[in-house]
A = this chain, B = another copy of it.
Amino acid sequence: MSEIKDQATEELLELRTSIDNMDAALIHVLAERFRLTKKVGKLKAEHDLPPSDKAREQSQVERLRHLASQADLDPEFAEKLFSFIVKEVIRHHEQFRENTV
């Protein structure tokens, strides 16, 4: 019994190492994504392009839901996460506009 438990604990540690690697990947992909959206914000502000683009956002949501389904990730969760990230992007855009006005 104790040996089985030890084996389970070892397997748990193995899984946690992989989860930690995935989290590091998430952080770095997100960091890069915000670098890109900051450039978008700057470009839009400089060229007086509209700050939000509903058609673009709608197509992003549809694409992400589709990708999520294919990867066996709940599409509802993917959409909620996308909204969460977009809120942060908008916050950055607003900060940028405030700092440049």
| Chain A residues packing against B (C-beta within 8 Å) | 4-5, 8-9, 11-12, 15-16, 18-20, 22-37, 39-40, 43-44, 46-47, 49, 56, 60, 63-64, 67-68, 71-74, 77-78, 80-82, 84-85, 88
Contact = CB atoms under 8 A, between A and B. Distances in A.
A24 B60 CA distance: 10
A30 B60 contact: no
A33 B19 contact: yes
Nearest to A30: B73
In the complex this chain forms, how many copies of it are found? 2
A40 B68 contact: no
25 contacts: A5-B47, A8-B46, A8-B47, A8-B49, A15-B39, A19-B33, A19-B36, A19-B40, A22-B33, A23-B63, A23-B64, A23-B67, A24-B67, A25-B29, A26-B30, A27-B68, A27-B71, A28-B71, A29-B29, A30-B81, A31-B72, A34-B73, A81-B84, A81-B85, A84-B84
